[in-house]
Structure 1
Amino acid sequence: MTEHLLSRIDHIQKNNAFSGTILVRKNEDILADSSFGYANRAEQLSNHTETRYGIASGCKIFTSIAICQLIEDGKLSLDSRLHECLDESFPHFDTNITIRHLLTHTSGVPDYFDEDVMDDFEQLWVEQPMYHMRRLHDFLPLFKHGQMKFAPGERFQYNNTGFILLGLIIENISGMKYTCYVQSRIFDTAGMRNSGYFALDALPGNTAIGYIDHEDGTWRTNIYSLPVQGGSDGGAFVTAPDMMKLWDALMNHKLLGKDMTTELLTPHTKEEDGNCYGYGVWIGMKNNAVYKYHVMGYDPGVCFHSAYYPEAEIKLAVCANISSGAFEMMRGIEEELGL
């Protein structure tokens, strides 16, 4: 199995010039541990297993875990309303928006990156320079006076603003900066020693630079394409082994108790194409049973997928420092392993 899997991974890599790390584990056995491309193209520093990669929206699960921890601590509830949790004024927001709505992308609040209005993430930074985006409060001007898209609970619509709001709630209730809370209560607890929310202008060693490739073969880095420091809707850096530790800690109830873990991993809403969503995690269903929990993230110069297949006891992480290719790699691995 392993030999065929590695051959399949190599084939996919050659077809799409994949740059990143692939780690696949069944229980404690490593089925694949492959790295390709450069973490730093100019210096020709290769990607490897311990390379840190940006994961964009893949870290919405961290925000969801943090919120659920505060609920377990008795400081919040799923039915707590947004206007009760923050002192900020949102003139046009519905007062019935709850924590549950925000967690499940059903709140109806305006998304600061609305794909119906713009298709290029970089357009955001024309009026609000990305180098000013270092704290969650820096995002408020992008949506604070926006109009509701629909009534809370009406439907699912993926929404980054909702997770910025959840991060602000975490800061307000815990008294800690969001990134410090996640570092302390999630990364440290799970043993994710090589992960963190690093600023793009102060990246530590063993961190992959994100690359945006052009059709003519030229490229540029993504330093002017993203907020300078990530937050509660995306932007953390992790290693592939650390994502394995995240799944282990979550499934073994090191981050949340059994009941709250079940709540987080329950399908609460569904996209039009049938994909289900829990709290910060996508859920794949077959024959009315869960076969996959997964998280993903895409930004200019970033693509990421990580998944846990409970019946097969397989975990995978596909981390890349280019804009596409992680999905094709994950799909090829799933096909090879019959997942």
Structure 2
Amino acid sequence: FNDTYWNGSRELYRSVEDFKPLVQGETLSFEPGERFGYSNTGMLLLGVVIQSATGQDYFDYIRENIYLPAGMENTDCYEMDYPVENLAIGYVPAPDSPWKWENNLYKHVIKGGPAGGGFSTVEDLFRFARALQSGKLVSKASLEKMWTPHTARYGYGFSVESGPAGKVVGHSGGFPGLNGNLDIFLDKGYTVAVLSNYDNGASPLARRVYELIGSLPVNQTGNTQD
């Protein structure tokens, strides 16, 4: 989401292919594997790779191979030209007053994609975490690679942390008016999903829950005690 995107028409960006001109001519910030820096561009290009490797539209492939097998019935990237039933609207502080809020529809992407802009529920995110761990979505070997830190506490698309809460993998993100966090506590057996429809609403709560789970004891079988 560079200046070309923000200064242009959002209606131009509906498919993964539509975003490709935004990154043409961009150079590497550093050599791959040298260090970690989260990149929306990188996620976008992974969507392009999925289309190229499968021969399918990105959105169709994700629905068939992730949402459907995981049972995620309320998750998708919706076109925002018209109202979508039961869709939460994000809110941002109004520029003229810190006590007023306005909706983020004038900022939101017209359709989400690999780099963000999709919609889900905490229940669906829980189903996603369960499906990952059960082997429904990827092999055990692939999951191990995804959840192994390759550079500075980051695997493949997942943060990887170790501490009082044990090994925790997850992902967080935000956009003006939206904030979300998913943590999977591998050693303690918890999954925590927090979503918010206003700026930075999910992160403080997710961090507090993280601290609380870190204070819980673990028995010899690796399960949390009552």
Relative to the length of structure 1, the TM-score reads 0.59
Distance in structure 1 (CA, Å) of the matches to 2:140 and 2:47: 23
Provide the residue aligned with 1:59 in structure 2: none
| Structure 1 portions without partners, runs of 5+ | 1-111, 114-122, 271-275
Pairing 1:334–2:210 present:
yes
Give the secondary-structure state (helix, strand or coil) at the position aligned to 1:283: strand
Give the secondary-structure state (helix, strand or coil) at the position aligned to 2:126: helix
Report the more deviating stretch, 293-302 or 172-181. 172-181
Distance in structure 2 (CA, Å) of the matches to 1:282 and 1:235: 20
Q: 2:38 aligns with which of 133, 140, 158?
A: 158
Q: 2:60 aligns with which of 176, 180, 183?
A: 180
Provide the residue aligned with 1:319 in structure 2: 195
Amino acid at match of 1:155: R
Structure 2 contact 179–196 (Cα < 8 Å) conserved: yes
Distance in structure 2 (CA, Å) of the matches to 1:284 and 1:292: 5
Distance in structure 2 (CA, Å) of the matches to 1:181 and 1:290: 34
Structure number with higher relative contact order (C-alpha < 8 Å, ≥ 6 residues apart): 1
**Change in 2 beyond 3 A, CA 1:239/1:125:** same
Distance in structure 1 (CA, Å) of the matches to 2:142 and 2:30: 28
Question: How many residue pairs were aligned?
Answer: 213
Structure 1 contact 295–306 (Cα < 8 Å) conserved: yes
CA deviation map 1:61-83 (0-9, x unaligned): xxxxxxxxxxxxxxxxxxxxxxx
CA deviation map 1:189-228 (0-9, x unaligned): 1000111111222453221011112343222221221321
Pairing 1:261–2:137 present:
no
Provide the residue aligned with 1:129 in structure 2: 9
Q: 2:92 aligns with which of 204, 212, 234?
A: 212
Structure 1 contact 209–221 (Cα < 8 Å) conserved: yes
Mapping for residues 100-139 of structure 1, pairs under 5 Å: 112-113=1-2, 123-139=3-19
**Change in 2 beyond 3 A, CA 1:179/1:228:** same
Q: 2:29 aligns with which of 135, 149, 152?
A: 149
CA deviation map 1:219-258 (0-9, x unaligned): 2221221321111111211111111100100001111121
Distance in structure 2 (CA, Å) of the matches to 1:221 and 1:332: 27
The offset of 1:334, in angstroms, is 2.5
| Structure 2 portions without partners, runs of 5+ | 217-226
Relative to the length of structure 2, the TM-score reads 0.87
**Change in 2 beyond 3 A, CA 1:203/1:255:** farther
Distance in structure 2 (CA, Å) of the matches to 1:324 and 1:150: 29
Provide the residue aligned with 1:295 in structure 2: 171
Amino acid at match of 1:299: F
Distance in structure 2 (CA, Å) of the matches to 1:293 and 1:170: 23
Distance in structure 1 (CA, Å) of the matches to 2:7 and 2:207: 38
Distance in structure 2 (CA, Å) of the matches to 1:297 and 1:238: 13
The offset of 1:141, in angstroms, is 2.1
Provide the residue aligned with 1:279 in structure 2: 156
Structure 1 contact 164–232 (Cα < 8 Å) conserved: yes
Distance in structure 2 (CA, Å) of the matches to 1:233 and 1:263: 21
CA deviation map 1:80-138 (0-9, x unaligned): xxxxxxxxxxxxxxxxxxxxxxxxxxxxxxxx54xxxxxxxxx5544322221111122
Pairing 1:309–2:181 present:
no
> Percent identity between the aligned chains?
32
